[in-house]
Amino acid sequence: MLIRIVKMTFQPEKVDEFLEMFDQKKEAIRATEGCQHLELIRNIDEPNVMMTYSFWTDEEHLNNYKKTDVFAEVWPKTKALFAARPEAWSMERLELLE
């Protein structure tokens, strides 16, 4: 499993626009083959800083998502709302305590 974390810093006045777009597309993103989990989280101290936290079967499935019509529609619109360059990490889980 691949864990993908993407940090996005939005222009403060564009946050609501992003949240509306995410709400409209989240089900389509989550329904992408290989996507096992999708979360949107927000920094408490900086509400214009958000991260997506998603689980993918493997890197191939993540890369296939990046070739979908959903990604082609969402990512350019999202990038236009940024106040800073996004950061992304692909991680693997070493331990999970519940």
Average pLDDT over residues 87-92: 98
Look up the CATH number of the domain holding residue 36. Answer: 3.30.70.100
In a domain, 93, yes or no: no
Residue-range definition of the domain harbouring residue 27: 2-87
In a domain, 94, yes or no: no
In a domain, 25, yes or no: yes
Count how many domains the chain has.
1
Condensed to tens digits (0 to 9), the pLDDT of residues 54-87 reads 999 999 999 999 999 999 999 999 999 999 999 9
pLDDT at 40: 98
Torsion angles phi and psi, residue 94, rounded to 5: -100, -35
In a domain, 97, yes or no: no
Given its phi and psi angles, is residue 34 left (phi above 0), alpha (psi -120 to 50 degrees) or beta? left
Condensed to tens digits (0 to 9), the pLDDT of residues 4-30 reads 999 999 999 999 999 999 999 999 999
In a domain, 95, yes or no: no
pLDDT at 85: 98
pLDDT at 93: 95
Q: Are 51 and 4 in contact (CB under 8 A)?
A: no
pTM, two decimal places: 0.94
